[in-house]
Structure 1
């Protein structure tokens, strides 16, 4: 499978304060890549995976401050659509939005997933010269998710990062977890938080728990 056909995992955080969340994630080790010139949107890189920040107040989908959803970014959406259909995700649809092409598909348990197509058109956006820190990865934690069908779905997308799973009962939810090979003591000195068996637990500017795994 060509790397360009793979989807990169990109949790989307709706936030009450994009600048505060951006600064928090940069202190952790993420790097800003593309930012809206009007504010309200930024996506950030790690060595593996991305995080997108969206101003909740301007969300057209009703995203609430502190809410994290699961999204992806990929090249060649048409090829990705074909691959998803071949393994049973038959409602995969590619359509145009104001900011570019998007693939929509119902994942396991009917959770609607969006995949944005990478674009070279930066009208209205500014590009940062961001070299991702290879020590860091985005490794979201999913609850209310049956692991086996989700792993099958992620495999069809070509996702090559770790996704962690919590209890399968209850509503589907996404927590913004990260994994690093950087010494967690150094990370804690930089951003605070509490050490637990799970890793370094930090409360982010939206009041949400972020767990950094070593």
Structure 2
């Protein structure tokens, strides 16, 4: 079975600010566009992609986070999704590589990029992320059983947290770590941070809440 990595996509008005923020937490840049406006960042488990909202062709708004993935072989992934009932999974070519599109639960369109060795137009970094960190998005307005079935079809243990099911579907960029939270908080002196019983609530450069779970 080809590997699949969860990769929330953040549309942002400040790519470099968000990049610096995530690097402060422990993520590391892997690939960035030579023209700017795109960078994906690795944690020990999972990834986060940053996209300049002003150049988004899909109408992404600054501060908006969507759910996306990266996979080794998207043809195999399409077949697996079709077998569990997601029959509109479609593979097509974009300028930056091959992409799978599928309508997930709650009528949410999910995009999966195929991992590519062609770095034309991109810069590849020697990313060495802190293995103590994981990307664990927080979903609200989500039908949990259906999403769990979707993640099983993708081939992932459910790498997300679920919030209230009422309201519109939304994704919050949450992270989990085994690093002592005192050490994490000490690096965040230039950010608005609130300590809770279970983690840290941080206002990121987009003005959005990011929760780090200890």
Check whether TM > 0.5. Answer: yes
Work out which of the residue numbers 93, 96, 100 in structure 1 matches 2:93: 96
- Structure 1 CA distance for aligned equivalents of residues 197 and 168 of structure 2: 25
Work out which of the residue numbers 135, 138, 154 in structure 1 matches 2:135: 138
Alpha carbons 1:106, 1:113 under 8 Å: kept: yes
TM-score w.r.t. length of structure 2: 0.97
> How far 1:132 moved relative to its partner?
1.9
Moved over 4 A (4+): none
> How far 1:6 moved relative to its partner?
2.8
1:196 aligned partner: 196
1:181 aligned partner: 178
Query: Unpaired segments of 5 or more residues in structure 1?
Result: none
Alpha carbons 1:6, 1:157 under 8 Å: kept: no
2:50 aligned partner: 53
2:155 aligned partner: 158
Alpha carbons 1:198, 1:211 under 8 Å: kept: no
User: Is the partner of 1:114 in helix, strand or coil?
Assistant: strand
Change (3 A) 1:152 1:161: closer
Work out which of the residue numbers 71, 75, 87 in structure 1 matches 2:72: 75
1:126 aligned partner: 123
> How far 1:74 moved relative to its partner?
0.1
Change (3 A) 1:24 1:161: farther
2:144 aligned partner: 147
2:23 aligned partner: 26
User: Is the partner of 1:188 in helix, strand or coil?
Assistant: helix
User: Is the partner of 2:139 in helix, strand or coil?
Assistant: strand
Alpha carbons 1:138, 1:161 under 8 Å: kept: no
Aligned residues: 211
User: Is the partner of 2:118 in helix, strand or coil?
Assistant: coil
TM-score w.r.t. length of structure 1: 0.97
